A and B are shown apart, each in its own frame.
Chain A
C-alpha cells in the first residue's frame, strides 16, 4: 500500500519533470553500461565511450563500475526496482542464470547476424548462442597457459629455459621441485594446485579430453566424466596432492599467493595474471602452452561478454545494440588488448604474427586454437562441486571413485534442474 502510494506520487513528479526536460533535450538517448571495478577495464571502457559518442552524438552512455565481489548482489537489488544497466558485462558462465531469469534479450539479428559471428569469432563464443540466437558477445577472450618459476628451476638443477612439454614431464619436474622440512611439512610446492582457481577448468576441459574422455555429452545435459577415461584423468589430477604429494590444497591460502611468493614452481593460470606476476619483485618466470598428453593439446577458454538487458526497449534498445556492436568491433579489441591485456575475440585480430609470437601473449593466443568453453549452467555452483570433490578426497578421506561419483551426482542434479522447464 505504502509502496503503491509512493510510486504514484513519484510517477506524477517524474511526469512533471520529464515534460520540462524532454523538450530541451530532444532526440538524445541515454543508456546505462555496467561492469565491475578494475582500473584498466574502467579506463578502456571510458575511452571507448568517448569515441563512440563522437561518432554517435545522439547517444549518451552512462558508465557505472561496481566492486567485483558484490556485482551480482548489486544487480539483484537494482532489478526489481526497474533500475540497472541497459548494456552490461557478465561472465560467460553466468549466461544460463541470467537468461533463465529473463534478464537478457537476444541480440537483434540484423545488427548481429549469427552466421557472420560464427565465422569471425573464436569457436568457443558459440556458447553464447541459445536456440540459434546470440545473447551476448565478448570483446576479449582468455585461455590458460603454464607458468614456471625460473629461479626455482635453477635451484633444483633444472634448465630454467626448458619448461615441461607433456604431462609426464610435468609430474617428474614437479617432484624435483618440491621441498619439505624435517617434519615432512611442505615448504615449497612443485606444482600449485587449487580447484577454486583455474584447475577445475584444467581438469574438466583439458585433462579429461587428453585422457580420451569428454566432460559432458554433446548437448551439455549429461555428465560423462565418470567414464574410465574421465576417472583416469581425475586420478592423474588427484595424484598431485595424494600420491606424488607435490602440492597441497590451501597451501599459502591459494594458488596465486604460492606462485607469487615463489613457494610453488609451476602453476596453470590465465593471461589476466600476467600483470600481477610482472609487478611481483623477485619473481622470475616464464609462460608456455599447456603440457600435452597422448599427443592431444586442449585448452579452456573463457570470456566476459556484453549483453543487452530486458530493461532496454524502443530507442534505448537500438542505442544499446549500436553501442554493443562498437564494443565488439576490431577497433575496440585492439584497444582492449593494449589497455587491459586480454586477447581479441575475433580470429583475424588475435592471430596477427606480432600477437601470436609475443613472448607472453603468444602461448595464450596459440592456446585459443584448441580452447573449449564449458557450457556452464551455473559456473559458481559447478566450480563449487569440484572444490567439494577435492575436499571429500582430502578431508573426508573418500576414494577417487566415490568422490567423483558424488560430484557427478551433484552436477547432474544441477544440470537437470537448470534444463527442466520452469
Chain B
C-alpha cells in the first residue's frame, strides 16, 4: 500500500471525507460530554460549551452513589464472560468450520437460532433457574446466560472457514493432537476476528441491562447500567447524571477497544506472513 508521500488526489479526498465523517459521528458524543460538565439548570440549553463548567456531577457519582461496586461488578462480569466466550465460541466455531461429521449443519443452525429469540422472553425462565439454583444476586447469576454466544460462534466459524485446510492437514500429518491444532495452528490465524469478538462481547456485557436488572436486588451487585437506571424517577430524569454515567462507562470500553484494535493490526501481519 502507498504511503502519504505518494498519495494520489483521490486518496486525499477520501481521507478528508473520512475525517469529516468521523467528526460528524462523534458530535452527539461531544454533546453528551458537554452535558456531563453542566449544572442541572443549564443542561436543558443544548449549547456545546458549558457556561459554568463543573465536575460536580462526577464528584456526586463517585461519592454519593455506589459507583465503585457497580463498576467492579460490571468489570468482573464483562471480563469473565469475554474470556469464556473467546474460548468456547472459537472452539465451537472451529469445529463447525473444519470438521466433517453428520449433524454439523443442524448444530450450526440450532446455535444460530439462539440469536432469534429476544432476551425479553428468556429472562423469566432464567430467573426461575437462577432462583432454584440460588444464583440470584451473585456474579455467576448475572453472567451465566452469556458464557457462550451464537453470535461469537457464527463469527468464528466464518473466519475459520477462510483458514486454508492445508495448514491443518499438515499439522495432522505431523501427529499434532486436534486440540493443539486448534489452539496453536488455527487460532493464531484468526486473531483479528478474536480481537473483534472480544471487543463486542465485552461491550455487550458492559452495556447489558435487562438480565442484570432482573437477577439482582442487592444494590452492591448492580452493574453500571442498572445503577444508572435509578437516575430516572417517577416524574423526572437527572439527565446530567445519566450523561456523566454514560461518560464514565464509555471510558473503560474505549480503553478496551484501543488496546484490542492494536491486536487486530498485529494479527494481520501474522496472517499476512503465513498466507
Interface, chain A (partner B; CB < 8 A): 3, 6-7, 10, 36-38, 64, 66-70, 73-74, 76-78, 80-83, 252, 256-257, 260-261, 270, 272-273, 276, 279-283
Contacts and interface: CB of A to CB of B under 8 A. Distances in A.
B230 to A, nearest CB: 4
B174 interface: no
B50 to A, nearest CB: 14
Contact of A279 (B40, B229, B234): B40
B132 A6 contact: yes
Residue of A37, A64, A281, A283 ringed by the most chain B CB atoms within 10 A: A37
A6 B234 contact: no
Nearest to B217: A64
Nearest to B234: A68
B44 A38 contact: no
B133 interface: yes
A256 B123 CA distance: 34
A252 B230 CA distance: 23
B165 interface: no
Given A3-B132, A70-B213, A74-B214, A38 B233 contact: yes
A256 B232 CA distance: 14
B110 interface: no
Interface residues of B, number: 27
Given A260-B44, A279-B40, A69 B131 contact: no
Nearest to B232: A69
Contact of A78 (B127, B229, B234): B127
A77 B124 contact: yes
Contacts of A3: 128-129, 132
Contacts of B217: 64, 66
A83 B213 contact: no
Contacts of A82: 131
Residue of A66, A76, A82, A252 ringed by the most chain B CB atoms within 10 A: A66
A261 B234 CA distance: 20
B196 to A, nearest CB: 31
Given A77-B214, A261-B44, A281-B39, A67 B230 contact: yes
23 contacts: A3-B128, A3-B129, A3-B132, A10-B132, A10-B133, A36-B234, A37-B230, A67-B226, A68-B233, A70-B213, A73-B213, A77-B127, A80-B124, A80-B128, A83-B131, A83-B136, A257-B44, A260-B44, A261-B44, A273-B235, A281-B39, A281-B40, A283-B41
A81 B131 contact: yes
B235 A261 contact: no
Contacts, number: 74
B234 A256 contact: no
B45 interface: yes
Interface string B197-230: 0000000000000100110010000000010011
Contacts of B44: 252, 257, 260-261
A276 B43 CA distance: 14
Interface string B91-129: 000000000000000000000000000000001100111
B5 interface: no
Contacts of B45: 261
Given A83-B131, A281-B41, A67 B235 contact: no
B134 interface: yes
A282 B41 contact: yes
Nearest to A282: B41
Contacts of B6: none
Contacts of B236: 256, 276
A36 B217 CA distance: 12
Contacts of B214: 73-74, 77
Nearest to B123: A77
A321 to B, nearest CB: 24
Contacts of B234: 36, 38, 68, 272
B66 to A, nearest CB: 12
A149 B233 CA distance: 24
Nearest to A283: B41
Contacts of A272: 234-235
B229 A69 contact: yes
A12 to B, nearest CB: 12
A70 B235 contact: no
A7 B234 CA distance: 37
Nearest to B130: A81
A5 to B, nearest CB: 9
Nearest to B214: A77
Nearest to B227: A67
A280 B39 CA distance: 10
